[in-house]
Amino acid sequence: MSHLSSPLMLGTLKLPNRIAISPMCQYSAVDGIAQPWHTMHLGSMAISGAGLVIAEATGVTPEGRISPHCLGLYTDEQESALTRLVADIRSYSATPLGIQLGHAGRKASAEGFDSGAPAMPDVGGWQPVGPSAFPIQNDWPVPKPLNSADIEQIVEAFVSAARRADRAGFDLVELHGAHGYLLSSFLSPVANQRTDCFGGSLENRMRLPLRIAQAVREALPMHKPLGMRINGTDHVEDGITIEEAGILAAALRDIGCDYVSVSSGGNSHAQKIPSTVPGYQVSYASDIRKSSGIATMTVGMILEPQQAEDIVSTASSDMIAIARAALDNPRWPMHALTELGMTPEYPKPYWRSGPEIWRGYKWVHRN
């Protein structure tokens, strides 16, 4: 057995292997409600051979969505649509399903499809909020700084969305604390210039993310794992450091979180991301794993099966996650496990495409 194909326990949830499908924005919701496209997309990922599939960043409030076209989980209709989605996928796949809950903060109200522009009010845009009155870049709206009452409402919104996710049948919840969205912006001294108990020291900047994590942990059944995507670095001077990220991860572990997914960037338009070579973020996950003792998921330019195997076999990270590689090749996990000498289970309607049946397999995958 390869290391990549070995099972992993997150709490009491058993993942059949160490390959996860990352949350990927689809910008295809209507009023935050999942559409048939979401069932097609997540259903395809759920029969890919991955050990875990996590649905896209889902807003806990209308203003917390990244764009007017993103999923939400704050109404009964949104919950019902996701309940149907999970049930439909469960008809054919037992792959564990997670959902990423988030609030986009000062990066909210984007046009979508990575246009890089804010959505104007005439197309459903709204004023974003954040820790301080600093826009993500000069041509974006100035966010409204959150007051204590606003913060209380957002904490409750995360709790409510987590309960809805539980009722909908998701096996796991991931909180979005990276990429400059709300929790990430509170963590980063680049975006957070507050002088109250939520700003200044690392202890203060961690206060909101930890409070939300603890509240969600208490709202979820204990058998359902909770994780958070975090930044290992902001790629900008005076941003969050890898040491601070490790302290945050250890605090999340103490609260009862089961893993962190380690990414980077997104808090400053002035960021300087090093050349994005394959696996360019693995070291962040490795350092945080060592310093905090929490399980880690590493993301970013993981492209080859042996590369993924090496990451897990050297204990650089407990899991690897792919996104665009899975869009390019929706059976990437199956092909990776086959290349590493495993025999993944194909869905019955697809069994004839497996390497032991289809004589063309070795020619298609000869490289």
- Catalytic residue IDs: 181
Beta bridge partners of 297: 261, 319
Contacts of 134 (CB under 8 A, 6+ apart): 106, 142, 143, 191, 193
Q: How far is residue 56's CA from residue 206's CA, in Å, rounded to a whole number? A: 24
Q: How far is residue 88's CA from residue 82's CA, in Å, rounded to a whole number? A: 10
Q: Which of 130, 82, 133, 139 is nearest to 108 (CA)?
A: 130
Question: Which DSSP symbol is given to 328?
Answer: H
Q: What is the CA radius of gyration of the chain?
A: 20
Contacts of 175 (CB under 8 A, 6+ apart): 100, 101, 102, 158, 183, 209, 212, 213, 216, 226, 227, 228, 229
3-state DSSP assignment of residue 9: strand
Contacts of 142 (CB under 8 A, 6+ apart): 133, 134, 135
Q: Which of 285, 291, 367 is nearest to 320 (CA)?
A: 285
Yes or no: say if 323 and 25 are a contact pair by the CB < 8 Å rule.
no
Phi, psi of 106 (to 5 degrees): -75, -5
Q: How many CA atoms are closer than 13 Å to the CA of 276, on its beta-carbon side?
A: 11
> Which DSSP string corresponds to 44-109?
HHHTTT-SEEEEEEEESSGGGSSSTTS-B-SSHHHHHHHHHHHHHHHTT----EEEEEE--GGG-S
